[in-house]
Structure 1
Amino acid sequence: MEEQLRILKMLEEGKITAEQASELLAALTPQKEVGAASYEVAKTEPVNMDYDKRMVRIVVDSSEGDKVNVQLPVTAIRQILKVTGKLPVVSENMQGIELTEVLDTVVDCLDAEAIGDIVNVVSKAGDVVKIYIG
């Protein structure tokens, strides 16, 4: 936990980028196997710092060569989830990725006002989905 706070402090001070902070936090995160994909689930703690203004980043790299990088404020993601029940850009045809589990994890983390890596998914087919809040 102390290491996570140090990383967040360095990010706040501008010593590292959000991407570097995300990578460092991910290195501290345990992984578990579920079905055909490997899921990395962050241990996160609530942070009360204008949470709705933080950015949710979604990176998709499909095995078919599609690459998507979306960055939206937490408020926008909450509204999208409320209206559509889906995350933007996460494709239904990604093989081996349990999208309901990913969606449930994102909703739980948003409710808990978590920051850092939320989910890193790598399917056997080579599809990659990364979602983090910075």
Structure 2
Amino acid sequence: MKNEIMKVLELVQEGELSNSEAAEILSALKEESEPALETSSYMSKSLKIIVDSDGDKVNVNLPLKLAKSLHSAIENIPAVQKHLAGVDMHLILEAIANNIEGPIVDIVSANDEKVKIVIE
């Protein structure tokens, strides 16, 4: 995109484009470079993380849009690391990318600790 901007500026300097024409072209270039927002109904669903461990109950509901954009931050939360050790977060992101619905992770340990990750 940098080359296209430079070319537009050169055309303005040479007098081949007016300022308003250049502004329209630059605006169009900017729109092309911005990623399209995902507006499907799937992205309006939630990633639900349910943990039942040692009497503690945790229910986290994240909109898929937020979960998709914050996945690296979520992985670094100590409570998540503790209860989701061994869970492949990239698998969950892959499920989101492929519009999978329903249970993604369903773990019951020998101590009856439960972890569920569901997209609904």
Q: 1:90 to 1:111 in 2, by over 3 A?
A: farther
Other-structure match for 2:101: 115
Which AA in structure 2 matches 1:66?
D
Residues in 1 aligned to 2:61 and 2:78: alpha-carbon distance in whole angstroms? 11
Q: How far is 1:81 from its partner?
A: 0.1
Matched position secondary structure for 1:106: helix
Other-structure match for 2:75: 86
| Percent pairwise identity | 27
Q: 1:89 to 1:70 in 2, by over 3 A?
A: farther
Q: How does 1:3-82 map to 2 (within 5 A)?
A: 49-62=40-53, 64-82=54-72
C-alpha distance after superposition, 1:14-34 (max 9, x if no partner): xxxxxxxxxxxxxxxxxxxxx
From 82, 106, 111, the equivalent of 2:92 is 106
Q: How far is 1:128 from its partner?
A: 0.9
Which AA in structure 2 matches 1:131?
I
Higher relative contact order (CA 8 A, sep 6+): 1
Residues in 2 aligned to 1:94 and 1:59: alpha-carbon distance in whole angstroms? 10
Runs of 4+ aligned structure 1 residues displaced above 4 Å come to: 87-90
Equivalent pairs counted in the alignment come to: 82
CA RMSD of aligned residues (A): 2.7
Task: State the structure with more CA Rg.
Answer: 2
Residues in 1 aligned to 2:57 and 2:97: alpha-carbon distance in whole angstroms? 28
Q: Which moved more, 1:115-124 or 1:84-93?
A: 84-93
Q: Identify unmatched segments of 5+ residues in structure 1.
A: 1-47
Residues in 2 aligned to 1:68 and 1:114: alpha-carbon distance in whole angstroms? 23
Q: 1:78 to 1:89 in 2, by over 3 A?
A: farther
C-alpha distance after superposition, 1:57-87 (max 9, x if no partner): 111111x2110111121001111204x1518
Q: 1:87 to 1:125 in 2, by over 3 A?
A: farther
Q: How far is 1:88 from its partner?
A: 6.5
Which AA in structure 2 matches 1:56?
L
TM-score, normalization: structure 2?
A: 0.56
Q: Identify unmatched segments of 5+ residues in structure 2.
A: 1-38
